[in-house]
Chains A and B, each alone.
Chain A
Amino acid sequence: MATTTTKSPALLVGQSLRRREDPRLITGTATYVDDVKMPGMHHACILRSPHAAARIRGIRTSRALEMPGVVAVFTGEDVAHLGPVPCGAALPGLRVPAHTVLARDRVYYVGHPVAVVVATDRYLAADALDAIEVDWEPLPAVADPEKALEPGSPAVHPEWPDNIAFTYKQEGGDVDKAFAEADVVVRQRLVNQRLIPVAMETRGVVAEWKPGDRQLTLYTSTQIPHLVRTLVAGMLKMPENRLRVVAPEVGGGFGSKLNVYAEEALMAFVAMKIGKPVKWIESRRENFVATIHGRGHVDYYEVAAKRDGTILGIKLKLIQDIGAYHQLLTPAIPTLSILMMPGLYKCKNVRADLIGVFTNCTPTDAYRGAGRPEATYGIERMVDILAAELQMDPAEIRFKNFVGSGEFPYQTATGLSYDSGDYAAPLRKALETVSYKTLREEQRKAREAGRLIGIGISTYGEICALGPSASLPCGGWESATVKIEPGGQVTVLTGISPHGQGEETTFAQIVADELGVSIDDVVVLHGDTSLVQYGIGTFGSRNTAIGGTALYFALQDLKEKLKKFGAMLLESDDVVWNRGRCVCMKSGKEVTLPEIAAASYRAMKLPENTDPGLVATRFWEPPNFTFPFGAHIVVTEVDSETGAVQILRYVAVDDCGKIINPLLVRGQIHGGVVQALGQVFYEHAVYDENGQLVTGELTDYAVPKASYIPAIESYHTETPSPVNPLGVKGVGEAGTIGCTPAAVNSVVDALSHLGVRHIDMPLTPEKIWKVIQDRRTA
């Protein structure tokens, strides 16, 4: 307990410990993929299509092969034997285009990989790309999903001229009856624009083939090393135990690295082909077109309600921009939106019609929140629009419709079972924090003085701890091995693959408390398939709720074993485990954990039916998701002359279940909110009508900078989840989920007296200024 600042023997769970990961990250001593260097290592660069749609009439590589330092050039024909880039999601009638590792006779989006050059130096490889001659026949392209659905639009994949990738319907209750009985129906088209995830570290792969051992090692910047191993081994048609995947330090993923990419199999192929290690590091511009995008919804909502604000029914027509291909989970993402359609409200009648649409664009897939921010944005915007229609206070209409705190577990119209909650509590706390009544009064006065102040509320729910295996294409459990070493130190091998979430700290807190060891004696290892037992990985706010629970159960197993050895050493059956010691209840004598560890490995004597050593492994399958919730309030001021928005106050009250480390929870909220403010005000992946991405680098695609971000006031309520023994729910995506509707509601509220009902994100000053001008001249 020497490392903590609080009095011994305080428990560490619940304390704001700084991340143990940070020193190496901020001193430049961490190892990312690009830091991996090997003797004889070659470098690869990838030729990508400049066309959104084109036929490849021919490729000539001879000039490139003559360039200095170039050792090989491979095209689609060379890798035709590799399996397709996998789509893990299955939906009835899903159309899955053949997603080859390199394009063969046709390209379908700007950035589509066409050839790979391997050279002794990265710059020589890049130079040689220019010498590859491709005979293109450009074809008409379509980039807008709604246009793609129009008859006569260019077909992204010629075999499916309607561009429909899939349709999916879900219905609960009696929607038609609800709408027939309604006093009021509000309708709105909401666009959840296409975003680029922009992880600080782009993707990268190093592949090394050892022919003698017949072992291939793949270093890749991924959130799911084990799934990459399984799926890339499948693409290579190689036994899985011949492939080792290492996710070293990963500089941000946000879902963009919850995937299996062509380049992972391609670099494996190259390394085996040339017999040398090979490195590919994605450039930033490449990252903008070659790594998945997020969001990309057009939603048509209809909400039916009684005059008193009771929500009766929700209809949603959801158009999901798929892009040119399905990546790992592409079709599954919008189905998550549908599951969350009712939000925190008691509405039992819902109908969703989902259409996935192919476009000549980079594929979309999971991006922080993955379907849930879109759903929350939808319902929370609609509730505000309904409140405005009924001239009700937006807080009041929410209180009126919340699932009550006594109604858990609550069965939703979409088939979920909400685990626990007190949805009114965070909203009450947020309202108190901003002094809501006074604030409304101030807003009124400001309006009279010509100032445009807005107050925006969102009360969000989310689906976390993904998830029960039945709900995922890949297994939804998690694993942990805990080893008490002969010297008494503890090593944890976790199946999750943290890359910024801080489990090297939070898991060590749990271990320290359970076993009564110093946190300094705990090491948490992850991200290497040769080191760690199989695991699923990091996404869907699952690390602590599922990986932490597997760890918790492994620790319980170990405590049982420690007690057996303790009982043997103390020659008593009446022993208890007490914070790092086994104590005899009769004599009061005790043995410490290091003494037991030494005895268990020395094994001069063993308890009956007990093996030497202190190692326990647990795989844990969660019985349900967890359902965190919260309330965000954003106060804004709009400058009527410039359209610029200033955030005056940002209050977040989040309930993510039991909190292991408040500092890290706050960090996740801050990060999520910042990313969401990016969507609200700045970010938009814009394609022109020919399918060219015109926001192709950071000068044109605006991610928020520190100076754009207000102080975020972060508070919590703590409602334990009954789903796992730790009581935790998850918090990795809460900020992106709660923020967008609160911020947009706030800006719309500021302009509501001008008759403004909705503005689509991003809320750029230009857009807002135009809306204000239109209203003034109207």
Chain B
Amino acid sequence: MIIEGTRSVALEPQRLYTLLQDPDTLARCIPGCESLVKEGDQEYRLKMKLVIASVNGLFDGKVRIADPSPHESFRLIVEGSGRAGFVKGDGVIRLTSDNGAGTNVHYKGEVHVGGTIAAVGQRLLDMTAKMVIKRFFDKVSEEAVAKASGT
């Protein structure tokens, strides 16, 4: 499944980039995130609860940031598995200035799922992915607004 989209966030690219690299912020923003622990340089262990169709489960996985190009883009590689199956994702996030005080976030990546979530959730996968991404950026926006007003 290809996931692609654009989202605007009210924070300039430099500061948003920093925000998106901060494990504490990410832990707060990733829907269903139970823990995000730094395990190495640019590598995190993620525990996340996910509900798709009639399946729910805890996914235990790794998030790796690669090819960082500060304030502009980075690549995100996610691998997780749990009783409901496995998820593998690989995508690029690009940040561009919206010529104001905000940022347009472009994301594009490919996601593979297997096991029960593939068997019973395929129909809803696209919707669920969109929802997870929306909720993530909603939270990031909230944090961004707090950051922006906090300065």
A residues near B (Cβ < 8 Å) are 50-52, 110, 129-130, 285, 288-289, 688, 690, 692-697, 699-700
Interface pair A289/B119, CB less than 8 Å apart: yes
Interface string of B67-107 (1 = CB under 8 A from A): 00000000000000111011000000000000000000000
A747 to chain B, nearest CB (A): 25
CB atoms of A696 and B123 under 8 A apart: no
| A residues near B85, Cβ cutoff 8 Å | 50
Asked if B116 and A285 sit within 8 Å, CB to CB, the answer is yes
Most chain A Cβ neighbours within 10 Å, of B53, B113, B118, B119? B119
Partner of B120, one of A130, A688, A700: A700
A50 contact from B54, B86, B120, Cβ within 8 A: B86
B19 CB to nearest chain A CB (Å): 33
What number of A-B contacts does a CB cutoff of 8 Å give?
55
With A50-B81, A50-B85, A692-B113 in contact, do A699 and B118 touch (Cβ < 8 Å)? no
Which of A50, A288, A697 is most buried by chain B, counting CB atoms within 10 A of its CB? A50
B122 lies within 8 A of A50 (CB): no
Please tell me if the beta carbons of A129 and B120 are within 8 angstroms of each other in the complex: no
Q: Are B120 and A110 in contact (CB under 8 A)?
A: no
List chain B residues, Cβ under 8 A from A688: 118, 122
Asked whether A50 lies within 8 Å of B123 as measured between CB atoms, the reply is no
Minimum CB–CB distance from B48 to chain A (whole Å) comes to: 15
Contact B120 A697 (CB under 8 A): yes
Interface size on B, residues (CB 8 A): 17
**A699–B53 CB distance below 8 A:** yes
- Name, among A52, A129, A695, A697, the residue most crowded by chain B CB atoms within 10 Å (CB to CB): A697
A110 to B122, CA, bound (A): 15
CB neighbours (8 Å) of A50 from chain B are 81, 85-86, 114-116
Which chain A residues lie closer than 8 Å to B115 at the CB level?
50-51, 110, 692
Which residues of B107-148 are within 8 A (CB) of A? 112-116, 118-120, 122-123
Residues of B within 8 A of A52 (CB): 114
A-B contact pairs, 22 of them (CB 8 A): A50-B85, A50-B86, A51-B86, A51-B114, A52-B114, A110-B118, A129-B83, A130-B82, A285-B120, A688-B122, A692-B113, A692-B119, A694-B119, A694-B122, A695-B122, A696-B116, A697-B54, A699-B54, A699-B120, A699-B123, A700-B120, A700-B122
The distance from the CB of B55 to the nearest CB of chain A, in whole angstroms, is 9
Q: How far is the CA of A699 from the CA of B119 in the complex (A)?
A: 10
Q: In whole angstroms, how far apart are the Cα atoms of A130 and B114 in the complex?
A: 16
Q: A50-B81, A692-B118, A696-B120 are in contact. List 4 more A-B contacts (CB 8 A).
A: A129-B83, A693-B118, A695-B119, A696-B118
Chain B residues touching A, majority SS: mixed
CA distance in complex: A699, B113 (Å):
18
Complex Cα gap A285–B120 (Å): 9
Most buried by A among B82, B112, B114, B118: B114
B120 touches A690 (CB 8 A): no
CB distance from B83 to the nearest CB of A (A): 5
Q: Is the CB of B83 within 8 A of A110?
A: no
Q: How many angstroms from the CA of A688 to the CA of B86 in the assembled complex?
A: 15
A82 to B96, CA, bound (A): 62
Q: How far is the CA of A738 from the CA of B82 in the complex (A)?
A: 45
Question: Once the chains bind, are A693 and B53 in contact (CB under 8 Å)?
Answer: no
CB A35 to nearest CB in B, in angstroms, measures 26
Verify B116–A130 contact, CB threshold 8 A.
Answer: no
In the assembly, what is the distance between CA of A690 and CA of B85, in Å? 14
Interface 0/1 of B51-69, CB less than 8 Å to A: 0011000000000000000
Chain B residues in the interface with A (C-beta under 8 A): 53-54, 81-83, 85-86, 112-116, 118-120, 122-123
Cα–Cα distance between A613 and B9 once the two chains are bound (Å): 92
The 4 closest A-B pairs by CB, nearest first: A696-B119, A50-B115, A692-B118, A694-B122
A696 to B112 Cα, complex, angstroms: 16
User: Considering the chains assembled together, what is the distance between the CA atoms of A50 and B121 in angstroms?
Assistant: 14
* Cβ of A681 to closest chain B Cβ, rounded Å: 18
Report yes or no: B83 in contact with A288, Cβ–Cβ below 8 A. no
* Complex: A690 Cα to B111 Cα, angstroms: 12
B79 CB, min distance to chain A CBs, angstroms: 10
Give the residues in chain B near A693, CB-CB below 8 Å: 118-119
Q: How far is the CA of A285 from the CA of B83 in the complex (A)?
A: 13
Q: Which residue of B lies closest to A694 (CB)?
A: B122
Name the residue on B nearest A696 (C-beta): B119
Interface contact A288-B114, CB-CB below 8 Å? no
Q: How far is the CB of A198 from chain B (nearest CB, A)?
A: 14
Complex Cα–Cα for A688 and B118 (A): 9
Residues of A within 8 A of B86 (CB): 50-51
A285 B112 Cβ-Cβ under 8 A: no
* B123 with A110: CB separation less than 8 A: no
How distant is A762 from chain B, measured CB to nearest CB, in Å? 16
Residue of B nearest to A129 (CB): B83
Report how far A569 CA is from B144 CA in the complex, Å: 106
A477 to B115, CA, bound (A): 42
Q: Complex: how many Å from CA A288 to CA B115?
A: 12
Which residue of chain B is the closest to A690 with respect to CB atoms?
B112
Expressed in whole angstroms, the Cα–Cα distance for A697 and B52 within the complex equals 13
Minimum distance in angstroms from A122 CB to a CB of chain B: 15
Nearest B residue (CB) for A692: B118
Contacts of A696 in B (CB 8 A): 116, 118-120, 122
Complexed CA–CA distance, A129 and B54 (Å): 19
Closest chain-A Cβ to B54's Cβ sits at a distance in Å of: 8
A700 touches B114 (CB 8 A): no
- Asked, given contacts A50-B81, A50-B86, whether A700 binds B123 with beta carbons under 8 Å apart, the answer is yes
Q: What chain A residues lie within 8 Å of B116 (beta carbons)?
A: 50, 285, 696
CA distance A288 to B85 in the complex (A): 15
Q: Which residues from chain A contact B119 at a C-beta distance below 8 Å?
A: 110, 285, 288-289, 692-697, 700
Q: Contacts of B122 on A, CB cut-off 8 Å?
A: 688, 692, 694-696, 700
Chain B contacts of A700 at CB under 8 A? 119-120, 122-123
Instruction: Determine how close the nearest CB of chain B comes to the CB of A67; give it in whole angstroms.
Output: 13
Per the bound structure, the CA–CA distance linking A313 and B86 in Å amounts to: 51
Q: How far is the CB of B50 from chain A (nearest CB, A)?
A: 14
Complex Cα distance, B121 from A285, in Å, reads 12
A130 CA to B57 CA in the complex, in Å?
10
Bound complex: CA A690 to CA B113 (Å):
9
Q: Which chain A positions have C-beta within 8 A of B112?
A: 690
Chain B residue numbers with a CB within 8 Å of A690 are: 112, 114
A289 to B120, CA, bound (A): 12
Q: How far is the CA of A57 from the CA of B116 in the complex (A)?
A: 22
Given A699-B53, A700-B120: A692 touches B83 (CB 8 Å cut-off): no
Bound-state Cα–Cα, A234 to B112, Å = 41
User: In the assembled complex, which residues on chain B have CB atoms less than 8 Å from the CB atom of A288?
Assistant: 119
A491, chain B: closest CB distance, angstroms: 46
Q: Which chain B residue lies CB-closest to A48?
A: B115
A285–B85 CA distance with the chains assembled, in angstroms: 13
* Best-buried of A51, A285, A288, A696 by chain B (most CB within 10 Å): A696
CA–CA, A52 and B116, complex, Å: 12
**Closest residue on chain A to residue B115 by CB atoms:** A50
Please report the C-alpha to C-alpha distance between residue A693 and residue B121 in the assembled complex, in whole angstroms. Answer: 11
Shortest CB-to-CB span from B52 to chain A, Å, is 12
A696–B115 Cα distance when bound, in Å, is: 9
Note all chain B residues with C-beta closer than 8 A to A699.
53-54, 120, 123
- Taking the closest CB of chain B, its distance from the CB of A103, in whole angstroms, is 15
Nearest opposing residue in chain B for A54, CB measure: B114
